[in-house]
């Protein structure tokens, strides 16, 4: 646990009592603060009270009279589409509003750091796609290299729930726009921006607000090294804003779509090869094609980001390359779950929208595609150019018929259930095929979440293979 500093003897309100909210209350108490908790869900309040925390309705008159700060869980809107009423009440009372990320950065350093040979460092990863894989890959590389590392934030443990870092330790954080937007302190040593595509637009008042939330990690964080994906205009703009000139190697530009040139520090992937250039010279190259845990161009971008972050931390190219080969990937994200009789089975249940499904489809050939679910706005037009590798689609979900109608020119079978789709795809799969779950839709019509959907696919494939 990271005890929260700066509130000893003061009351601090905590709004939202999920995983991060309860961890925040515990860390506040450990630092000497007096947490005052609230959640609209009675069950969440009961859980907090069972741990001995006081609860109080923060909308009652005078609720903020003795409150030093309000700490808000990431799922609670603070500005768009409209502020939560409790947050508005805190504003009116002049009470500072923060989140657990802000508390983490202001509380991380301990007195023992003065005795460390190497002070701990923080790597923070943000962006639209690839944050989880990039963060997990950085953590994996550090661990394989024998460096003490912890993975936290939007993945792994809550930021205040981790252990105090040891001498030479690294904390790897995945940070969403919800987290970077509100944090009052953002001071990573290395910050990574993967890419930007439209997401959470209602929460941020449009794409500009969404990008502004991501940009705060760099503009206000002032990292020693900034690793920026420059395959979109927003990344190119951000890299330009942070750099003092073409040779400024505090900014490491990365790409999976183009060769990067110039006197600075660049890492890019082309035709399956990762290359590092510094001062106009190539310093390293890695063949990413045989690495099973990093298939496709989108994962090659993740590899570039993780490589650059680890190079910024002082690791050698050979150490990073060796760790790449043992990276198994994340569950539900282009995860190879089995290979049998020349057929590869891949679980990408996290591909809940057209953009992520399109990347998955481009990563493989000879695809027997399990898709469908609760459709999102915009239809499937964005997938058309990626369907050339699909031999057949097996459509699931309550809207299977409507989904299949949009796959013009692609052989599609309406299966409705995962059980039927897996059985049909496996029965028809041939040597060299990939059976890919990449739904391009949400899971809520049949499952509680995308993890449950991916687990169902995985279980059915493995059960069928075991019976052969």
Instruction: Say if residue 196 is in the same domain as residue 302.
Output: yes
More confident residue, 457 or 220: 457
Stretch 181-205: mean pLDDT = 90
Instruction: Say if residue 236's pLDDT is above 90.
Output: yes
Name, in order, each residue with C-beta under 8 angstroms of 198's C-beta and a sequence gap of 6 or more.
207, 210
- What is the distance of C-alpha 113 from the center of its chain? 29
Instruction: Say if residue 319 is in the same domain as residue 350.
Output: no
Return binding residues.
127-133
Cis peptide before 359 (omega within 30 of 0): no
Instruction: Say if residue 311 is in the same domain as residue 453.
Output: no
Question: In this structure, what CATH number is given to the domain that contains residue 24?
Answer: 3.40.50.720
Instruction: Say if residue 86 is in the same domain as residue 135.
Output: no
Band (164; pLDDT cuts 50, 70, 90)? very high
Instruction: Say if residue 371 is in the same domain as residue 240.
Output: no
Band (203; pLDDT cuts 50, 70, 90)? confident
Instruction: Say if residue 117 is in the same domain as residue 256.
Output: yes
Task: Report pLDDT for 156.
Answer: 78
Stretch 211-240: mean pLDDT = 95
Instruction: Say if residue 25 is in the same domain as residue 89.
Output: yes
Instruction: Say if residue 78 is in the same domain as residue 183.
Output: no
382: tokens are: 């964005």
Instruction: Say if residue 297 is in the same domain as residue 383.
Output: no
Domain range enclosing 397: 335-467
Mean pLDDT of the chain: 94
pLDDT, one tens digit per residue, over 175-184 is 999 999 999 9
> How do strand 170-174 and strand 251-255 relate by DSSP bridges?
unpaired
Pick from 82-86, 203-207, 261-265: least confident: 203-207
Return binding residues for ATP.
127-133
Cα separation, 197 vs 179, in Å, equals 17
Instruction: Say if residue 155 is in the same domain as residue 36.
Output: no
Q: Which stretches of 292-377 are DSSP H helices?
A: 296-312, 317-325, 354-362
Instruction: Say if residue 76 is in the same domain as residue 117.
Output: no
Cα separation, 266 vs 250, in Å, equals 11
pLDDT, one tens digit per residue, over 205-221 is 889 999 999 999 999 88
pTM for the whole structure: 0.88
Task: Report pLDDT for 128.
Answer: 86
**Domain contains 330:** no
Question: In this structure, what CATH number is given to the domain that contains residue 399?
Answer: 3.90.190.20
* Domain count within the chain: 3
**Domain contains 2:** no
Instruction: Say if residue 353 is in the same domain as residue 370.
Output: yes
pLDDT, one tens digit per residue, over 100-151 is 999 999 999 887 888 899 999 999 999 988 899 999 999 999 999 999 999 9
């Amino acid at each position: 646990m990271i005890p929260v500093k700066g509130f000893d003897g003061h009351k601090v309100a905590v709004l939202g009592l999920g995983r991060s909210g309860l961890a925040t209350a515990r860390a506040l108490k450990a630092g000497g603060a007096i947490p005052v908790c609230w959640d609209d869900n009675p069950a969440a309040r009961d859980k907090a009270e069972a741990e001995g925390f006081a609860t109080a309705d923060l909308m009652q008159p005078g609720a903020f009279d003795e409150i030093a700060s309000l700490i808000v869980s990431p799922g609670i809107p603070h500005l768009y589409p409209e502020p939560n009423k409790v947050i508005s009440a805190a504003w009116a009372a002049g009470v500072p509003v923060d989140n657990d990320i802000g508390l983490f950065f202001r509380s991380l350093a301990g007195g023992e750091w003065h005795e460390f040979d190497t002070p701990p460092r923080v790597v923070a990863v943000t962006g639209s796609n690839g944050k989880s894989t990039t963060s997990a890959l950085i953590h994996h590389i550090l661990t394989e290299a024998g460096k003490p590392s912890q993975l936290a934030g939007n993945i792994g443990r809550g930021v205040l729930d981790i252990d105090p870092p040891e001498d030479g330790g690294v904390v790897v954080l995945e940070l969403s726009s919800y987290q970077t937007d509100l944090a009052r302190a953002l001071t990573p040593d290395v910050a990574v921006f993967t890419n930007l595509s439209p997401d959470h637009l209602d929460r941020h008042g449009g794409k500009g607000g969404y990008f502004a939330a991501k940009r705060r990690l760099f503009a206000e964080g002032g990292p020693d090294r900034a690793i920026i994906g420059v395959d979109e205009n927003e990344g190119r703009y951000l890299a330009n804003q942070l750099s003092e000139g073409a040779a400024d190697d505090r900014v490491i530009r990365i790409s999976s779509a183009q060769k990067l040139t110039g006197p600075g520090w660049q890492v890019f992937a082309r035709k399956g090869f990762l290359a590092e250039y510094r001062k106009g010279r190539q310093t390293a190259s890695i063949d990413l094609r045989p690495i099973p845990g990093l298939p496709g161009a989108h994962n090659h971008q993740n590899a570039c980001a993780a490589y650059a972050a680890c190079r910024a931390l002082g690791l050698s190219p050979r150490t990073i390359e060796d760790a790449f080969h043992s990276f198994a990937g994340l569950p539900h994200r282009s995860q190879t779950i089995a290979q049998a009789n020349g057929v590869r089975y891949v679980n990408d249940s996290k591909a809940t929208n057209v953009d992520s499904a399109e990347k998955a489809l481009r990563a493989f050939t000879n695809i027997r595609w399990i898709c469908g679910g609760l459709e999102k706005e915009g239809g499937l037009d964005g997938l058309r150019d990626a369907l050339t590798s699909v031999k057949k689609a097996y459509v699931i979900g309550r809207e299977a018929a409507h989904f299949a109608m949009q796959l013009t020119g692609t052989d599609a079978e309406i299966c409705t259930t995962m059980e039927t789709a897996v059985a049909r795809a496996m029965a028809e799969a041939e040597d060299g095929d990939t059976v890919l779950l990449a739904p391009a839709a949400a899971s809520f019509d049949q499952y509680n979440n995308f993890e449950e959907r991916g687990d169902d696919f995985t279980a059915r494939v493995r059960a069928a293979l075991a019976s052969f």
